[in-house]
Structure 1
Amino acid sequence: MLFCGINPGLMTAATGHHFARPGNRFWPVLHLSGFTPRLLKPAEQQELPAYGLGITNVVARATARADELSAEEYVEGGRLLTAKVTRWRPRWLAVVGVTAYRAAFGDRKAQVGPQERTIGDTRVWVLPNPSGLNAHWTAATMAEEYALLREAAGGTSDQGGSVSVTTPRS
């Protein structure tokens, strides 16, 4: 499973750890949904491959907010992400943020959940953005959605072969 954030926030850029801002709910939701047996801290992201999980971003440039990114950055990020997925061949790509997915892949009608698009044999799922700014999703409702993906992937996070992509600028 390769999780893909939108782009590094300023805290992530400063610390080198994905989803490092204290209000971000990625790490709690990852645990609540059953992907990890305990709540990991951003500084423990190197443990993700042990669970068959990897992490990257659509766009490498750090910003305070994702709405600072240009349409061109998203499209180029989608192209680069496709190349990464083609090279690493995870069984699943989980993009966290429907707006980012729509912009990166030119799919204006995409919704949270499984997508028809595949990248080679890699299936694609769009998850809610765990940013604290995405207030209409609670940690509990996000965890339910993340758990649907985990269950679709076979009920466990380790689906054979791990993807180790844990640098925020990868």
Structure 2
Amino acid sequence: MGRTKGRADGQATAPRPSREELEACVGRGIPPVIAPGLRILMCGINPGLYSAWTGHHFARPGNRFWPALHRSGLTPRLLAPAEQGELLEHGLGITNVVNRATATAAELSITELREGGERLAEEVRTYAPAWLAVLGITAYRAAFAEPRAALGPQERTLGSTRVWVLPNPSGLNAHFQLPELAEKFGELRAAAARD
């Protein structure tokens, strides 16, 4: 699996994949972290190649999902992507709109996003989380044919599940820095706590 790079202090850092290893991950999926009756099911757009390589959601260095989750109070400590299974202990889970790894989400077609929205709606009806949090307004608008949707709570429900749209935590999303992301995640935490 990838090269291990040494630091100046002699300690090893996390292994890094080669270009070939990342390219081999195109199209690979990541199983959801899900169970019946979660408080919040977080939903990414689709796995990036680095996440597919590790097998963990939001694993790419620089992705702000895990820090925003912790800073918002949704987790009591900062979890590493490899600890994603611990989310279930906190009533949280993770899935994706489209479970096909790409270099960027821009590679997904509108058809894939719509089909992913239909599959996601079915998954949500099966597991019945209290809230579905879609991480990315553009993906939500495309997947659910809601071109005027804004961040925050939505009028749409999926069975008994309420829907909330959060900003995409990717490091490529320059519109929201970590403090703003944590604040948005915290708004959802507060709403879920009131239920």
Same fold, TM exceeding 0.5?
yes
> What is the TM-score with the length of structure 1 in the denominator?
0.90
1:102 counterpart = 2:153: no
Q: 1:149 matched to which residue of 2?
A: 188
Q: CA deviation at 1:128?
A: 0.4
Q: 1:14 matched to which residue of 2?
A: 53
Q: Deviations over 1:10-39 (max 9, x none)?
A: 011111000000010000000000000100
Counterpart Cα distance in 2 of 1:136 and 1:90: 28
- Alignment gaps of 5+ in structure 2: 1-39
Q: Deviations over 1:49-90 (max 9, x none)?
A: 000001000001100100000000000000000000000000
Q: 1:72 matched to which residue of 2?
A: 111
Among candidates 89, 95, 116, match of residue 50 of structure 1:
89
Counterpart Cα distance in 2 of 1:87 and 1:121: 11
User: Aligned pair count?
Assistant: 156
Q: CA deviation at 1:136?
A: 1.3
**Cα RMSD, aligned residues only:** 0.9
Q: 1:5 matched to which residue of 2?
A: 44
Percent identity of paired positions between Structure 1 and Structure 2: 65
> What is the TM-score with the length of structure 2 in the denominator?
0.79
Among candidates 129, 139, 150, match of residue 168 of structure 2:
129
Q: CA deviation at 1:94?
A: 0.3
Counterpart Cα distance in 2 of 1:2 and 1:25: 17
| Runs of 4+ more than 3 Å apart | none
Q: Secondary structure at the match of 2:193?
A: coil
Among candidates 80, 84, 87, match of residue 41 of structure 1:
80
Higher Cα Rg, which structure: 2
Greater relative contact order, per chain length (Cα 8 Å cut-off, separation 6+): 1
